[in-house]
Amino acid sequence: MSKKYCAVPFLVWLAAGTVIPFAMILYYGLTDRTGAFTLNNILAIFQPIHGQALGLSLLLALISTVICLLLAFPLAMILKDSNLGRRGFIIFIFILPMWMNFLLRTMAWQVILEKGGIFNTVLAHLHLPALTIINTPAAVVLGMVYDFLPFMVLPIYNAMMKIDDSIVEAAYDLGAGKSTVLRRILLPMSIPGIASGITMVFVPSLTTFVISNILGGGKIYLIGNIIEQEFTTSANWNLGSGLSLVMMLFIIVSMAALNALDKNGEGNFI
Amino acid sequence: MRLLRADKIRRVLSALLAVVMIIVCACAMTGCGHRDEKEVRVFCYGDYIDPAVVKSFQKETGIKVVLDTYDTVEEMYPVIKNRAGVYDVICPSDYMVERMINEGLLAEIHTESMPHYKNIGRRYLKIADESYDPGNRYSVPYQYGVAGIMYNKKKLGKDSVTSWNDLWRKKYKGKILMQDSLRDTMGISLKSLGFSLNSVKEKQLAAAARHLIAQKPLVYKYANDSARDLLIGNSADLGVVWNGEVLYSQKLNSDLAFVVPREGTEIFIDSWCIPRNAFHKDNARKFIDYMCRADVAYRNFEYLTYSTPNDAARRMMPAKLRNSEILFPSDKMLEKSESLRDVGPDGDELYSRYWKIFKSK
C-alpha cells in the first residue's frame, strides 16, 4: 500500500514534466494564431525551406552517427582486449569531458577553429596553410561527433564487456579467424549496445540547434534552428510546435526501427 | 477486494494530482497571491541594470525589487500576454511597445507625476512619438543605440567604409560579419537597397532576401554578440555591431573604427513600460522615475556603456564621452534613421518566410 503512495511525486513529475508540456505542444501545433484547429503547422514540413532544413539535419546527423560508430566500435574492441587497470583509465578519459558543460565545450571548438584561432595560429607558425572549416557543415559534424561520442562508446563498451570470453576462445578453438570472430560473434552480440548508441547520438544530433549556431556561424540552417527561431524571434509558437511534432514522429520512427534490432532490450526506450 | 482497493488508490491519486495541478495553475495565474505593497516586479533584459542601482533603490524607498530577466522581447511578450507572470515594470524595445499598445497590454505611465522624467532628451521622445508611442503615453526611454559598421582601419584603410553596400564588396570576401537577427539583418539589406527597414511590400522583401543570398558567400559569419570579439581578435575585418560595443572594443584593439553608414541606420530604443495587469503601479512609477534620475542613469551608463537618452546623465560624462559621435549620433543622422515598427502578424509572417528562404539557401 504505502509503496504506491511513494509513486505520487513521480506522477506529479510525470504530469508537470511530460504530460502537460506535451499536451501544450499538441494544442499549439494543431491550432493557428486565433486558436482554430488546423493541420497547416504539421504540413508546413513539406514547404521546400523546411524540407531542405530537415534533409540537411538528417544528413548531418547520419554522417556524425556513422563517424561515431566507426570510432567507438574499434575502441570498444581494443578496450575489451586490454587489461583491467588501463581499461578503466581510458574510459575515464572518455567520460572526463562530460563533466564540463556541453555549451562550453562547443564554444571551445569555436575558439580553436576560428580564423584567428588557436589551431590556425599553430599552423601559421609551422608555415602550413590555414584550415577553414569553421562555419561550414564539416565544423558542425565535428562538433556533433565530439559532443556525442561518449554516448556511443559507453553502450557499445558495456555490450562488448558482457560477451563471455570463453565464447570467443571457443570460436578460435574451432578454427575461426579474427574476421570470422568479429563478424559472427563480436558484432552480432554487441548489437544491443550499437542500437542504443545510435539512438543516443542520432536523436540529439538531429534536433540540435546549439552546435549549428555556434560552429555553423549562422550559415547552417538545421530544422532545430527553424524551430528555435519560431519560438524566440518569430513568435510563432504554433508553427514551432507543429514542426516539433513532426520531429517527434521522426524520432519515434527511428527509435522503433532500432528497437526491432535490439531484441534484448538493452537500449529499450519505447 | 484487492481490485476494489486498487481502484480506491487510483481515485485518491487522481484527486491528489488534480489538486496539485489546480494549485500550480492558480499560482501561475495569480503569482500565488503575493500582493505585498512594498514590492515591485521588474521583467527586463538580462544584465541590463547595474545591480548596485537595484540595491540602492531598495534602500532608499524600502520597496523590494523582484527582478526576472529574458534574452529577447519575443520571450517576454507571451508571458505578459498570457498573464503567465504578473509584472509591474517591463522593458520592451520600440516595435514591441507598439504591438503591446495596440493590443491594449500596457497602462498609461502618467509621467507628469515623475520629477526626473524631464531628464529624458527631447529628440528621443520625438522619435518615440513619431513612430511607436504617439504622445509618449506608454513608454519612458531607458537605453538606445544605433547599428553601424565597425571595421579595422589598419587593414582596410581609414574612412574606407561609408555605406551599407561596402558589406557587399567582393574584395572583403570572408572578412565580413553580419548580424544573425531576423529584423535587423533584413533591415540592413532593405536599407542598403534604399527601402525602409519597416517595409511590408513583398517585392522589396524578396529583393532584400535575394540581396542577402548574394552576400552569403562573402560573409565569414552571422554573429550577434560575438561579432565584437571576432573583430577585436582580427578574425574578421568589418562587421555590423551596435554603437554600444564600440568603446569597449576600441579599448582592446585600437585599430577598430566605427561608422554609421550614410544611408541612415536602425535606431533601437528600449523603454520602461507598465503592463495593464500590474499590481503595484505606483511602485512601478517610482522605479521608473528612479531610473530617470541623473546619477542613477549615469551609473547604469557606466555599467552598460550603451548610449543613454538621459541628457542630465550625459552632462555628467567626461567631455570625451559626452561629445562622442559614436555614443551620441548627430541629429542629422538620427533623422535619416528609423526605429523598427511592429509590422503585424501578416508582416511578421512575410519577414519570417523570406528570412527562412535566405537562411536555407
Alpha-carbon distances of A62 from A141, A254, B251, rounded to whole Å: 10, 11, 45
Quote the CA–CA distance of B96 and B102 in Å, as a whole number: 10
Tens of pLDDT along B140-156? 999 999 999 999 999 99
Helix %, strand %, coil % of chain A (to 5): 80, 0, 20
Question: Is B356 within 8 Å of A49 when comparing Cβ atoms?
Answer: yes
Beta-carbon separation of A50 and B356 below 8 A? yes
- For chain B, say whether A40 makes contact (Cβ under 8 Å): no
Q: What is the DSSP string of A99-141?
A: GS-HHHHHHHHHHHHSTTSHHHHHHHHTT-PPP--TTSHHHHH
A192: left (phi over 0), alpha (psi -120 to 50) or beta: alpha
Of B131, B48, B44, residue with least CA distance to B94:
B131
Alpha carbon of A217: minimum distance to chain B alpha carbons (Å): 5
Best mutation target, B74, B182, B225, B361, to test chain A (most A CBs within 10 A): B74
CB-based contact A234 B24, cutoff 8 Å: no
Residue of A nearest to B72 (CA): A232
CA distance A226 to B212: 18
Phi-psi region of B305 (alpha: psi -120 to 50; beta: other; left: phi over 0): left
Mean pLDDT, residues A23-40 taken together: 92
pLDDT for position B9:
53
In this prediction, residues A16-45 reach a mean pLDDT of 93
Asked if A86 reaches chain B (Cβ–Cβ under 8 Å), the answer is: no
Instruction: Kindly state the average pLDDT of the residues A130-148.
Output: 92
Q: Judge whether residue A42 has pLDDT over 90.
A: yes
Is 90 exceeded by the pLDDT of residue B276? yes
User: Average pLDDT, stretch B37-53?
Assistant: 93
Distance of CA A117 to CAs A114, A122, A130, A186, B225, Å?
4, 9, 10, 42, 17
3 state DSSP class of B35 = coil
Question: What pLDDT, on the 0 to 100 scale, is given for residue B23?
Answer: 56
* Amino acid B31: pLDDT: 46
DSSP for B83-94, written as a single string: TSS--SEE--BH
Q: Kindly report the backbone phi and psi dihedral angles of residue B108, in degrees, each rounded to the nearest multiple of 5, phi listed first.
A: -65, 145
Which amino acid appears at position A168 of this protein? V
Scanning A222-261 for CB atoms below 8 A from B yields: 225-226, 229-237
- B74–A232 CB contact, under 8 Å: yes
Set of chain A residues whose Cβ sits within 8 Å of the Cβ of B15: none
Share above pLDDT 90 across residues of chain B, in percent, rounded to a whole number: 78
Contact B74/A234, CB-based, under 8 Å?
A: yes
Residues constituting chain B: 361
Is B204 in contact with B192 (CB distance < 8 Å)?
no
The Cα B241–Cα B264 span in angstroms is: 14
> Of residues A238 and A90, which shows the higher confidence score?
A238
Q: Which pLDDT belongs to residue B345?
A: 86
Do the beta carbons of residue A168 and residue A187 sit within 8 Å? no
Would you call A15 and B17 a contact, using CB atoms and an 8 Å cutoff?
A: yes
pLDDT of B77 strictly over 50: yes
For residue B81, which amino acid is it?
A: K
Chains A, B: CB contacts under 8 A, how many? 89
How far, in Å, are A77, A176, A181, B188 from residue A172 at the CA level?
16, 5, 8, 70
Residues pairing with B89 in the sheet: B42
Q: Does A3 touch chain B (CB under 8 A)?
A: no
Residues of chain A contacting residue B221, judged by C-beta atoms under 8 Å apart: 134-135, 217-219
Name every chain A residue with its beta carbon within 8 A of the beta carbon of B233: 114, 116
Cβ contact, residue pair B348, A236, below 8 Å: yes
Q: Residue A64's closest CA among A211, A177, A187? A: A211
Q: What is the percentage of chain B residues whose pLDDT exceeds 70? A: 90
Residue A185: count of CB within 10 angstroms of its CB: 17
At residue B205, the pLDDT reads: 97
Contact B235 A116 (CB under 8 A): yes
**With an 8 Å Cβ cutoff, are A218 and B356 in contact?**
no
pLDDT over 60 at B13, yes or no: no
Q: What ranges do the domains of chain A cover?
A: 1-30, 42-264
d(CA A241, CA B29): 23
Interchain proximity B352–A116, CB inside 8 Å: no
In the prediction, which pLDDT does A73 show? 94
Provide the pLDDT for residue B15. Answer: 57
Does A33 touch chain B if contact means CB atoms closer than 8 Å?
yes
Q: What are the tens digits of pLDDT across the range A10-21?
A: 999 999 999 999
CA-CA distance, A60 to A225, in Å (whole number)? 14
Please judge whether A219 and B360 are an interchain contact, meaning their C-beta atoms are less than 8 angstroms apart: no
CB B226 within 8 A of CB A106: no
Average pLDDT across chain B, whole number: 89
pLDDT higher than 50, residue B33 = no
Contact between B360 and A221 using a beta-carbon 8 Å cutoff: yes
C-alpha closest to that of A107 among B342, B330, B223: B223
Residue B290: all three cell numbers together:
528612479
| B220/A135 touch (CB, cutoff 8 Å), yes or no | yes
CA distances A240 to A50, A200, B74, B78, B271, Å, are: 11, 23, 14, 14, 29
The region, left, alpha or beta by phi > 0 then psi within -120 to 50, assigned to residue B104 is left
Interchain contact A115–B (C-beta under 8 A):
yes
Among the listed residues B302, B334, B306, B250, the one whose alpha carbon sits nearest the alpha carbon of residue B91? B306
Q: How far apart are the first and last CA of chain B?
A: 67
pLDDT digits (tens, 9 = 90+) for A240-260: 999 999 999 999 998 888 888
pLDDT digits (tens, 9 = 90+) for B86-139: 899 999 999 999 999 999 999 999 999 999 999 999 999 999 999 999 999 999
Within 8 A of A219 by CB-CB distance, chain B residues are 216, 219, 221-222
Task: Report chain A residues whose CB lies below 8 A from the CB of B342.
Answer: none
B99: burial class by Cβ within 10 Å (0-12, 13-18, 19+)?
Answer: buried
Residue A144 CA, chain-centre distance (Å), reads 7
Distance (Å, whole) CA A235 – CA B77: 9
Flag if A8 and B352 touch (Cβ within 8 Å): no
Homologous superfamily of A42-264: MetI-like (1.10.3720.10)
Which chain A residue shows the shortest CA-CA distance from B75?
Answer: A232
